[in-house]
């Protein structure tokens, strides 16, 4: 929910955003430990992947919302691997370069793996090597 507010001391007008939280969401890490779901952390990773790319902030917010909704549907706990795969799928639709940057970090790809991903994204182009 978006609200316009005004400071009672200086009359400065500003906007606040509120959202309803029902339960604390958890991320199940690969090692078995659990940690709280952090929208800010997830959004930061997606922003870094799409840095200097024509990706609208609203598209990133929508992707984070989809991940959060999936965690809620899963009973409040979601595996970290599922979050990563959802982010990859979302970025692939939004911007392929951002997808490659995220995949390179998330999957720890080397140069050959990045080239294979690139070939998969552009099958109509042939490599000139």
Per-residue pLDDT tens over the stretch 37-64: 999 999 999 999 999 999 999 999 999 9
Helix (H) or strand (E) holding 28: strand 26-28
pLDDT tens for each residue of 94-106: 998 898 889 888 8
Counting DSSP H helices and E strands in the chain, the numbers are 5, 5
Mean pLDDT for 62-90 is 93
Report field, pTM of the whole predicted structure over 0.85 = no
| Residues 6+ positions from 78 with CB-CB distance below 8 Å | 25, 26, 27, 28, 37, 67, 70, 71
Closest CA to 118 of 98, 102, 96: 96
Paired strand residues for 77: 26
- Using CA atoms, how far apart are residues 5 and 3, in angstroms rounded to an integer? 6
- Using CA atoms, how far apart are residues 30 and 27, in angstroms rounded to an integer? 10
Q: Which has the higher per-residue pLDDT, 116 or 128?
A: 116
Residue identified by tokens 């090597």 is: 129
Query: Residue 123: which pLDDT band, with cuts at 50, 70 and 90?
Result: low
């Amino acid at each position: 929910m978006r609200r316009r507010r005004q400071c009672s001391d200086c009359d400065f007008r500003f906007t606040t955003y509120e959202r309803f939280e029902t339960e604390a969401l958890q991320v199940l890490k690969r090692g078995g430990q659990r940690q709280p779901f952090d929208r800010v952390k997830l959004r930061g990773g997606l922003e870094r992947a799409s840095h200097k790319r024509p990706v609208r902030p609203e598209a990133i917010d929508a992707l984070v919302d989809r991940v959060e909704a999936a965690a809620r549907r899963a009973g409040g706990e979601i595996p970290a691997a599922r979050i990563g795969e959802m982010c990859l799928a979302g970025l692939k639709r939004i911007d392929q370069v951002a997808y490659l940057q995220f995949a390179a970090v998330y999957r720890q790809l080397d140069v050959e793996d990045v080239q294979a991903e690139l070939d998969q994204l552009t099958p109509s182009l042939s490599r000139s090597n």
